[in-house]
Structure 1
Amino acid sequence: MAEKTGVSTNNLVEAGDYGKSKKLPQYIAALSVCMGSVAAGTVLGWTGNITKENLANRTLNDIYVDPDNDYGWIGSFSTLGALCMCFPIGFICDLIGRKLAMLLTIIPFSVGWLLIIFADSTAMIFAGRFLTGLAGGAFCVSAPMYTSEIAEKDIRGALGSYFQLLLTVGILFAYLLGAFLKPQIVSIICACVPLVFGVVFFLQPETPVYSLKKGNEEAAIKALRKLRGDEYNVEAEIADIKANIEKDEREKIPLSKSLETRAAKISLLICFGLMFFQQLGGINAVIFYVGTIFEEADSGLSASDVTILVGVMQVIATFVSSLVIDKFGRKILLLISGFIMSIAGILIGIYFSLKDDVSDIGFLPILGVCIFIIVFSLGFGPIPWMISSEVFPAEIKSNASSAAGTFNWFLAFLVTKFYGDLAAEIGKDVTFYIFAGISLVGVVFIFFVIPETKGKTLDEIQRELNGEKNVGQGIDNQGFNS
C-alpha cells in the first residue's frame, strides 16, 4: 500500500487513498520558481569580483567610488532592501497569491538593474542595489512558501533546497561574468535574468492551498492535476486540504494568543536561532568580499580565479545537499555544517595571524574558504529557510516567516557593512576566530534544540512541537533533546 503523500497538513485520508502521483511536475514547478533565486543570487554575487582597487580606478561606469566610505555600502545596500521587503512580502502573498507576488518582483529587479547600468553617481548605484536587494529578499520568504505548498512530503526537503541551490547558481553566474566583463556589461546581463524567470514561472499554477483559502476549488483541482498527474486522487487531497483550512478557521485565535502556544514559541526559537547562526557564522563576509579577501591574502592566485572556484564549489555542494537532505535529515547536516564551518574559520584566522611571519601558507585561506563554502552549502545554507516553512504553525506562518527573514537580512547587513571596519579594528584573524566561535555555539544549539522534520507532514511536525508523543508512526521521529 502506498504511503500517504501530499501538501496537506491534516491526517484525514488514510494511506493509499491518494493513489500514484508524478514527481516530475513538482520538480519542474520548484525549479521554475527558483529561477527567481538565480536572479537574487546575481545580486549577491555582483560584488564578488569588484574590489576596492578597481572601484577607485573608476571601473564602474567611470564613477569614482571611495574605497573606504562607499565600498561597504555597495555590498550592504542590497541586504537593507531585502530586510525591508521580508515583512511586506508575507502580507502580499496572502493578499494576491504566491505566484503573482513573485512575478511582480520583476519590476524592482528591472528598475534596480537599470539604475546601476545607467548610474552616473554612487547614489544611483546605492538605489539600484537597494531595489534589487528588495526583490531578492522577497524570494527568501515566498519561494520556500510556494514550494512547501506544492510538494509532497517525501520530496519536500529536496524541493525546498532548490531555493538555495539556484541562489548559488546565480552567485556563480555573476562571479563568472565579473571575471571577464566590465561591471556595466555584467549588470545588463543580470537584468535579463528576472525576465527569464517571469517567462518560465508564468506557466506554473498557484498553490492549491492558497486557491482553496480563496474559495477557488476549480483552480486548486487544476493545479493538483498538473502537479500530481492523472492517476492521482485529486479529490482526496482537496478534501484533506479543505478540512484542514476549515479546522484552522474554527480554531483561529488572535496572533498574540497564538504566540502563547508551545509550538509557536519553540518554532520561533528554532527559526530565529538558525538565522542568527547562519549569518553570524560569516557567510556574507565571504560571499560579498571573497575577491578582496584573496587579494589581501596574497595567495598567489588571482582574486577572480579563486572567486569562480568558490562559486563552483558552492553550487556542487548545494546540489549534493538537495540529493541527501531527505535521506539523512536536516539535523545531522546542520551539525556537520556548523562544526566544520568553525574549523574553516579557524584556518582562515590562522593564516591572517601567521602570514607576516611564516611563508608558503598562501593555500590556507583558499582551503579555509573552500571548506567553509562547501559545508555551509550542505547545511546552513538551505536548511534554515526550509525549516522556517516547515515548523511555523499555520496561523502565524506568514508573519513569523517574514519576521525571521527580516532578522536574517538585518544580520546580513551588519556583517556586510561592518566586516571591513571590524577587520581593520581588531584584525582579520580575530574576526574569523569570532565567526568560528559563533559556529561552534550554533552546533550546541542545534544538538539540544532542533528537531528532525524529515519525512513528516506539517501537521505531524506541529503536534510534535506541541509535546505530543509517538507522532508519525513509522517515521524517524527525533524530537527535542531536552
Structure 2
Amino acid sequence: MENGKRVLIAPTKYGSLFCEMGTGKEASSNNLVIDENRMQGNKAPQYIAALSVCLGSVAAGTVLGWTSNIDLTKGILNNLEITMNQVSWIGSMATLGGLLVCVPIGYYCDIVGRKLAMLSMIILFSLGWLLIIFANSVTMIYLGRLITGMAGGAFCIAAPMYTSEIAEKEIRGTLGSYFQLLLTVGILISNVLGAYVDIKTFSILCFCIPLVFGAVFFFQPETPIYSLKKGKEDDARKALRRLRGPDYDVDSELKELKQQIESAEQNQISLKESLKKKATKKAFVISFGLMMFQQLSGINAVIFFTSTIFKQAGANFSFSPTIIVGIMQVIATFVSSIVVDKFGRKILLIGSDSMMALSSVALGIYFTLQDRHILNEDQISTISFLPVLSLCVFIIVFSLGFGPIPWMISSEVFPPEIKSVASSAAGTFNWFLAFIVTAYYQPLTSLVGADVTFYMFTLISFTGSLFVFFVVPETKGKTMNEIQNELNGEQINSNGVENKAYS
C-alpha cells in the first residue's frame, strides 16, 4: 500500500467514504477497495464545454481586432469620411463598452445563470454589428463598437466564471486559459479578413460568429454550482454526469459542493465585512495589480494599431504583418494552455513580463534612432527587422503569460461570497485601463514620441515582474479553499493540518 493514498471504501447515500492509506485508518480486508484514480472524471466533456463557451471569446476577439488591419480614413466603410482622431475613438469605444458591462454582468450571471447570460449576449453582438454594417454616420459606428464591446466584455467575466465552475482542479488552469486562446483566434480572424475582404463583408462575417457560438453552446449544461445555488440538485447532478462521465462519483462531489455553498451562505457577509478579511484584501491587490500591469504594458495599443506601428517603423511587407502576428499569438496562447498546469502561473507571469519589458525597450530604442535622426535612412534600413521582431516577441510572450493568467487568477483568488462582484470590479478596472491606453496611445506618441511611449511601457512591465515575484501566490493545483487559506496566512502541512504561517 502506498503511503498517504486515498481510496474509496464504498459509496453510501450520503456520499462516498474515503480512508487514508498509511495513516492508521485503513479499510479492513472485507471492504471493497477501489483506487481513486478509477473514479476520476472524464476530462473530455469538460474540454468540450470550455471550448464551446469560449467560441464567444472568438466573437469578442473579432471586435478587438476589427481596427487592426483596415484603414477607415480612406472611406472604405459606406464612403464615410473618418479622421485619424475618430479612428482612435472607434478603436477605444469597444473597450469603453467592456468597461460599462463588467459590473452588471456579474449580477446578471447570478440572476439568470451563467449559460443564459452568455447566450443573451448574442443579441448585443448582433445589434452592434448591424449598426456598423449599415452605418451612415460615424456616430452609428461609435454606437456599434460600444455595443459589441459590451458583449465582448461580458465574456471576459462570464466565460472564465463558467469554466472555473465546471472544471476539476487538475485542469482548471488549462480550461481557464481557453478564454484567452479563443480570443486570439478571433483577433487572427479579424487580421485575415481585414486584409483580404472588403470591410462590409468582413463585418457581416463577424456578425455570423456569435450565431455559431449560440448554436454550439446551447447544448452545454449550466454549471453545477449555479444549479445548486438555485436549489436544483437534479440539474446539478445531470450536469456533473454530463461533465465527468458515467463512472464518476457524482454524489461525493455534489455533497462537497453543497457543503461549500451552505458554508458560504451561513457565513455570508457584506462586501464591507469581507474587505476586513486578510484574504480578501490580498485578493484585491493581486487581481487589480495584475489587471493594471496587463493593460499598462500597452498590449491593446499594439493589437489595435499593429499596422500603424509597422508603418511608423518604416517596415514594408508584401503581405499583412498583422496576420503573422496573429498566428504567433494563437500558437503562444495554445502553448500556455498546455503548460499552465505544469509549470504554474507565477513562473509564466514573470517570464512573460520580463520579455515584454525587453521587447518594449527594443522598440523604444529603434524609434529613438529613427525619430531623433541619430541614424540616417540607410543605417535605419539595416535594422528594420528590429521593430518587427520586437513586436512579435512582445505578443508571443504576452500570450504565454500576461494575456490569459490575470483573468484566470482573478477567478481563483476571490472568496466565494464576493467572487461575482469582485471579479466584475476587476474586469471593469481592466477595461477602463484598456480604454485609456487605446484612446490616448496615438495622442501620447504625438506628444512625447513613440520611443518615450514604449520606454514607459518598459518600466511598467519591469515593475510588473517585481509585483508578481513578491506579491502573487502560486495557485496551480490548489482548491479554492486552499487558496483562501494561503491568502489568510495559513499553511497546510504534510498531515493535512492547517497551521498559521507567521512571518
Does the pair score TM above 0.5? yes
- Whether 2:82 is the aligned partner of 1:60: answer no
**1:174-189 equivalences in 2 (<5 Å):** 174-189=190-205
Scaled by the length of structure 1, what TM-score is found?
Answer: 0.94
Change in CA separation of 1:398 and 1:305 when aligned onto 2, cut-off 3 Å:
same
- Whether 2:179 is the aligned partner of 1:147: answer no
- Which string of whole-angstrom CA distances, capped at 9 and with x for unpartnered residues, describes residues 408-433 of structure 1? 00000000000000000000000001
**1:48-447 equivalences in 2 (<5 Å):** 48-51=68-71, 55-67=72-84, 69-302=85-318, 305-355=320-370, 356=373, 357=375, 358-359=379-380, 360-447=382-469
3-state SS of the aligned residue for 2:290? helix
Scaled by the length of structure 2, what TM-score is found?
Answer: 0.90
* Aligned amino acid, residue 294 of structure 1: F
Partners of 2:468 and 2:244 lie apart in 1 by 34
2:489–2:501 Cα contact (<8 Å) kept: no
The one of 29, 37, 40 aligned to 2:49: 29
Residue segments in structure 1 that go unaligned for 5+ positions in a row: 5-10
Change in CA separation of 1:124 and 1:261 when aligned onto 2, cut-off 3 Å:
same
- Which string of whole-angstrom CA distances, capped at 9 and with x for unpartnered residues, describes residues 281-309 of structure 1? 0100100000111122111225x621001
1:13–1:236 Cα contact (<8 Å) kept: no
Change in CA separation of 1:2 and 1:28 when aligned onto 2, cut-off 3 Å:
farther
1:460–1:471 Cα contact (<8 Å) kept: no
Between 291-300 and 117-126, report the one with greater CA deviation: 291-300
3-state SS of the aligned residue for 2:39? coil
Which of these two proteins has the greater Rg computed from alpha carbons? 2
- Map of 1:7 onto structure 2: none
Partners of 1:96 and 1:272 lie apart in 2 by 27
Measure how far apart 1:56 and its partner are: 2.4
2:360–2:390 Cα contact (<8 Å) kept: yes
Measure how far apart 1:3 and its partner are: 8.8
Measure how far apart 1:14 and its partner are: 6.5
Partners of 1:366 and 1:390 lie apart in 2 by 36
- Which string of whole-angstrom CA distances, capped at 9 and with x for unpartnered residues, describes residues 387-410 of structure 1? 011000001101100000000000
Partners of 1:449 and 1:296 lie apart in 2 by 37
* Aligned amino acid, residue 32 of structure 1: S
1:18–1:236 Cα contact (<8 Å) kept: no
Change in CA separation of 1:353 and 1:22 when aligned onto 2, cut-off 3 Å:
same
Partners of 1:3 and 1:95 lie apart in 2 by 39
Change in CA separation of 1:458 and 1:466 when aligned onto 2, cut-off 3 Å:
same
Count of aligned pairs between the two proteins: 468
- Which string of whole-angstrom CA distances, capped at 9 and with x for unpartnered residues, describes residues 171-196 of structure 1? 00010000001111110000000000
2:6–2:19 Cα contact (<8 Å) kept: no
Residue segments in structure 2 that go unaligned for 5+ positions in a row: 9-15, 21-35
1:153–1:455 Cα contact (<8 Å) kept: yes
Change in CA separation of 1:460 and 1:166 when aligned onto 2, cut-off 3 Å:
same
Partners of 2:155 and 2:412 lie apart in 1 by 16
- Map of 1:469 onto structure 2: 491
CA RMSD of aligned residues (A): 2.0
1:262–1:465 Cα contact (<8 Å) kept: yes
Measure how far apart 1:253 and its partner are: 1.4
- Which string of whole-angstrom CA distances, capped at 9 and with x for unpartnered residues, describes residues 80-130 of structure 1? 000000000000000010000000000010000000000011000000000
Measure how far apart 1:20 and its partner are: 2.7
2:132–2:141 Cα contact (<8 Å) kept: yes
* Aligned amino acid, residue 394 of structure 2: F
Partners of 1:31 and 1:453 lie apart in 2 by 22
* Aligned amino acid, residue 153 of structure 1: K
Normalized per residue, the structure richer in strand is 2
Matched-pair identity in %: 61
Measure how far apart 1:471 and its partner are: 5.9
3-state SS of the aligned residue for 1:106? helix
2:122–2:211 Cα contact (<8 Å) kept: yes
2:73–2:87 Cα contact (<8 Å) kept: no
1:13–1:240 Cα contact (<8 Å) kept: no
3-state SS of the aligned residue for 1:105? helix
Partners of 1:481 and 1:432 lie apart in 2 by 41
